[in-house]
Amino acid sequence: MFELRVKGRFSAAHMLRGYRGKCARLHGHNWEVEVAVEAEGLSEAGMVIDFGELKGMLGEVLDELDHKLLNDIPPFDRLNPTSENIAKWIFDRMKEKLSGFEGVRVSSVTVRESEGVAASYRE
Ligand SMILES: [Zn+2]
């Protein structure tokens, strides 16, 4: 099995509902996102997928969140915009974007909202 990883970033604000703590108040983070994709075989060019193409897809997905108030963007208008839920949302968006690439699957998405903490989602 081969696995590729690409990283991206976005900056956004959020506030957590039903949570007693500082994160209940409006604040922002510079999120770091790492996406891993996997494939059992390689293309004729010897790749899982072109790194540039994969980074481009992640960039498009993160643009949807960048410099926004996450609580305004569905599904985060109902679902708490925690790192865990953001990781799953990015996973689902990347899965859609990779649907045309046979044999290539999203293996995990990791979201870091601050130094030393990370949340990952995988199916
Ligand atoms: Zn926060």
Domains plus CATH for the chain?
Answer: 2-121 (3.30.479.10)
* DSSP conformational letter for 69: B
d(CA 20, CA 34): 28
Q: What spacing in Å lies between the alpha carbon of 76 and ligand 1's midpoint?
A: 13
Catalytic residues: 23, 67, 113
Confidence of residue 61 (pLDDT cuts 50, 70, 90): very high
pLDDT higher than 90, residue 22: no
Q: What spacing in Å lies between the alpha carbon of 121 and ligand 1's midpoint?
A: 18
Q: What spacing in Å lies between the alpha carbon of 123 and ligand 1's midpoint?
A: 24
The mean per-residue pLDDT over the stretch 104-109 comes to 98
Residue 85 CA, distance from chain mean position: 10
Q: Write down the pTM of the prediction.
A: 0.95
d(CA 35, CA 29): 19
Query: What's the pLDDT at 21?
Result: 86
pLDDT higher than 90, residue 26: yes
Which residue is associated with the tokens 């980074």? 55
pLDDT tens digits along 33-60: 999 999 999 999 999 999 999 999 999 9
